[in-house]
Amino acid sequence: MIGAPDNSESLLVPVLLASAGVLFFCMLDAVMKAQALAMGAYSATFWRAAMGAVFASALYLPNRPQLATGRVLRLHITRGVLTASMMLFLFWSLTQLPLAQAVGLSFVAPIIALYLAAPMLGEQITRGAKIAAVLGFGGVVIIAGEDMFQMRDDSSLLGIAAVLIFAVMYALNIILQRKQALVARPTEIACYQNVIMTCILALGAPFAITLPADVVQWTAASAAGVLAVISLILLSIAYSKAEAQALVSVEYTAFIWAALFGWLFFAEPVSAGTILGTAFIITGCIVSTRKAKA
C-alpha cells in the first residue's frame, strides 16, 4: 500500500492539488470540445489517450518499474475500461451542449458516488446524502428543463443523456480513484490508464479513427494528452493524501472554469438556468460532504 491519509495532516495541500487537477481537466475539456467538433468524438478521444500514453510512459518507464499484478492490475484495467467509455460519452456530449451546461449536468456525479459507496465501500447512506440527492436532481431538472421545454435549435436531449450517463460512470470512477491512489503511485496510474484506454479505443481503428488533419489537430491532441496526464497525477496525489469525502466538493470548481473557457473560446453564454441549476447541485454536494463527516 502506498499510504493512507493521516488525520492530523492539513487538508490544505490535497485540496490545492485536487483544485489544480480539476483546473487542468477543464482545460482538457475545452481542448477536447474543439477536437471532437473537428474530427469526431471517437477519434479525438483515441488520440488524446494515445498521446497521454506516450507522455505518461515517458514519466513512468525510465524507473524500470515492476509490472502491476493481482488486485492492483485489476483496478488499473477496470478504471481504464471505465475511463475509455465515460470519456466517449463526455466528449461527444461536448459537441452537443455548451461547455458550462455539460459540466453543470455532470455535477450530480459525486452525489451518485455516495450511493455507490454503500455497496462498494460498506458505507451507510446518511440523511444528508438523501437531501443532497434531491437538491442535485432539482438542479438537473432546472438545467435540462431549458432544453426539454424550450427545445431550442442548439439544444440536444441526446447530449443531456450522454452527459448524465457520464456522470454515473464518473461517480464510480471517484470510488475507484480513491482505491487506486492507495495502492499505486501517480505515474503508474497515469501510465496504465492511458495505455489501457488506447488499447480499448484502438479496437475501433478500422472504421472509427481518423488521423489528425493538420498541425493544429496534432498539437491539440498532444496538448490534450499532456493536460490529461497532469490532471490525473495531481488528482492521484490528492486522493492518496485525503479521503474522497474531503475532496469531492472540489470537483465543483469545474463549473467556474467551464463557464470561463466556454465563454472565452466558444462564445458560449452562461444562461441563468444553468447558473441556478448548478447552484442547487453544488449546495447538495456541500450538504452531502458535511453530513458525511458528521
Query: What is the per-residue pLDDT across 124-159, written as a single tens digit (0 to 9) for each?
Result: 666 766 777 677 777 777 766 655 444 454 557 888
Cell numbers standing for residue 290: 458535511
Please state the pTM of the whole predicted model.
0.79
Q: List % helix, strand, coil for the chain (3-state, nearest 5).
A: 80, 0, 20
Cell numbers standing for residue 100: 458550462
Contacts (Cβ under 8 Å, ≥6 apart) of 126:
288, 291, 292, 294
Query: What is the per-residue pLDDT across 249-289, written as a single tens digit (0 to 9) for each?
Result: 777 777 777 777 777 877 877 777 778 877 887 787 677 55
Burial 154-191 (b: 16+ CB within 10 A, else e): ebbeebbebbbbbbbbbbbbbbbbbbbbebbbbbbbbb
Q: 65 to each of 3, 57, 179, 272, how far by Cα in Å?
A: 18, 11, 20, 50
Query: What is the per-residue pLDDT across 14-44, written as a single tens digit (0 to 9) for each?
Result: 888 988 998 999 899 889 988 988 998 899 9
Environment class of 249 (CB within 10 Å of its CB; exposed 0-12, middle 13-18, buried 19+) = middle
Band (pLDDT 50/70/90 cuts) for residue 188 is: very high
| Low-confidence winner among 3-12, 71-80, 141-150 (lowest mean pLDDT) | 3-12
Domain ranges of the chain: 24-293
Choose between 1 and 102: higher pLDDT: 102
- In terms of Cα–Cα distance, which of 139, 174, 173, 176 is closest to 247? 174
Distance in angstroms (rounded) separating the CA atoms of residues 225 and 153: 33
- In terms of Cα–Cα distance, which of 76, 35, 67 is closest to 227? 35
